[in-house]
Chains A and B, each alone.
Chain A
Amino acid sequence: MIESIPIPGIEDFDRAYWENCSQNKLSIQHCAGCKQPRFPPRHMCPKCQSIEDEWNVVTGKAILWSFVIPRPPLLPVFENQSPYIVGLVELIEYDNIRIIGQIKTDESIDSLEIGDTLNVRFKKINDEISLPYWVKE
């Protein structure tokens, strides 16, 4: 098993997403033609099939849709963090754009509830990758 955190490999169609994350900005891919937003990023607009895209920076404010607390056995890097929380959050600026990220709270895990309002933060992994996570404040 790998000892390090598995990191996303950057590809042409999601390079802008990761570049923005590295600057602590969350951005969503939109079709340059019909303006349809899409997540996860991909090569083609599923609505009009255009391959031209543009990126809109968003606040990252989100509602907690669901979450899990993984327990061992896990990859070593996550076993060391356990218990941690992984959430699926729904961005308030869109209908149905949901993103996976860790959830941090200063309160006990038991106080976390589906429907909680969360703010995005970024954890720098290396020069190219910062991972978004969300905090309950």
Chain B
Amino acid sequence: MLKDRTAIVGIGETEFSKSIDSTELNLACKAIKIALDDAGISPDQVDALGSFTYEETPEFEIARNLGFGDLTYWSQAPYGGGASCAAIGQVAMAIASGISNVGVVWRSRKRGDPSSRMWSHTNEKIFDHWKWSRPSGLIRPVDESSMLMRRYMHQYNYSREDLASVSISLRQYANHNNKALMQHKSLTLDDYMSARMISDPLCLFDNCLESDGAIAIVIANLDIAKSLNKIPAIIHSYSQGMNKEHQLMTHYHGDDPLESSSYITASNLWNLSDYTAKDVDVAQIYDAFSPMIPFSLEAYNFCSKGQALKLINEGLISINGDIPVNTSGGSLSEVYLHGMNLVTEAVRQIRGSAVTQVKNAKLALVTTCDATPNAAILLKGE
């Protein structure tokens, strides 16, 4: 039904910066126009929209600014970092099922200002599931992620030196990317080991950037995609996943807290696909915090449980490794836009136009946040 019926045909990005003097709506409009121009599709052909529940630019404002046609589908995907591939997959399903023909998915975010940190708006009285952790001082997403990392290090006998290789690998990619916020900043093991701790055992460099910008993509049915001049990034398979006893960001109460919702997404994604992890040429793994990369690589079956950090240290995710990961620098070193930069980089890899290009990349995996209900897509070239 969905397999190989739709493709990402256009990508658009604004500038990325710590602070852009513009509104989120203005940035969203610019990114979407760039994506439509990239695809060679006229705005009045767009009839579907997908976004994040966290997105603050409404569909009708987007549509009437850009001059879209009559819309026949729109949806929003929840859970921030878990949303990008879900928003894309849902629009792809609408197109594959014939409800619509051309869809736009976007994320615009001004997050560079520290006052926009969500945890800093914690209320005096907590009624949601965070009542079980925040009163004890486990306040920020980094604290929630760090809890799992220390356990993983204990269980598989790893140290901070081992984890450093994740951030250092991504920084090396960013150093080649002139859009990356960290292009001009090198990162050595010494830099990493002497960085200030944010939530021990995680330090500054285990955290994503705080940045402003917008990213949009255009999805079309395969007939339209093939009529355009760009190499389509065909959406081969897509799944969402939420495991038993899941609790948002604090998935501590199931049988094994180290077995995240990514295991559900991965299992279903591979079942729906003609491929296995071995066939994937390049992966874009959601990385709000560095532990999410080893956790996700294990969940998606690139290696067995407990092996990821050892293999990353041996070069697994670098450009010459078996599975290059976050080749534009990712959320840790390019830009943090809830993982949408991972999608645009996957499309560039399929097109053969990435700055750090994986040779002959034909199959690209994009994942979303390991610590939330999440989703993934598998993109393939022609």
Residues of A within 8 A of B (CB): 1-2, 4-9, 11, 39-40, 46, 65-71, 73-75, 78, 81, 83-84, 86, 88, 96-102, 114, 125, 129, 131, 133
Interface 1/0 per residue, B237-268 and A, CB below 8 Å: 00000000101001011110100000000000
Query: Which B residues are in CB contact (< 8 Å) with A1?
Result: 120-122
A100 close to B250 (CB less than 8 A)? yes
Q: Which residue, A7, A83, A100, has most C-beta atoms of chain B within 10 A?
A: A100
Tell me how far the C-beta of A57 lies from the nearest C-beta in chain B, rounded to whole angstroms.
Answer: 19
User: What bracket does the count of chain B residues touching chain A fall in?
Assistant: 35 or more
Residue B139, interface by CB 8 Å? yes
For A68, A86, A99, the residue with the greatest tally of chain B CB atoms inside 10 Å of its CB is A68
Answer whether residue B150 sits at the interface, using C-beta atoms and an 8 A cutoff.
yes
In chain A, what residue has the closest Cβ to B244? A46
What residues of B have a CB within 8 angstroms of the CB of A68 in the complex? 138, 143, 146-147, 150, 199-202
B265-293 CB mask vs A (1 if < 8 Å, else 0) is: 00000000000000000000000000000
Binding site secondary structure of chain B: mixed
Q: Does B18 contact A (CB under 8 A)?
A: no
B80-88, B127-135, B158-166, B228-236 - the one binding chain A: B127-135
Tell me which residues across on chain B come within 8 A of A75, comparing CB atoms.
119-120, 122, 139
What per-residue 1/0 map shows which CB atoms of B162-181 lie under 8 Å from chain A? 00000000000000000000
Could you tell me the distance in whole angstroms from the C-beta of A134 to the nearest C-beta in chain B?
10
Return the contact of A98 from the options B114, B125, B143, B252 (Cβ within 8 A): B252
On whether the beta carbons of B199 and A71 are closer than 8 Å, the reply is yes
Contact of A114 (CB < 8 Å), options: B119, B146, B151: B151
CB distance from A77 to the nearest CB of B (A): 8
Give CA–CA (A5, B123) in the complex, Å: 9
Are B150 and A66 in contact (CB-based, < 8 A)?
Answer: yes
CB distance from B166 to the nearest CB of A (A): 18
| Identity of the chain B residue whose Cβ is nearest the Cβ of A38 in the assembled complex | B253
Contact yes or no, A67 B147, CB < 8 A:
yes
Q: Are A102 and B122 in contact (CB under 8 A)?
A: no
Whether B143 pairs with A86 at a CB distance below 8 angstroms is: yes
B120 contacts across to A, CB distance below 8 A: 1, 75
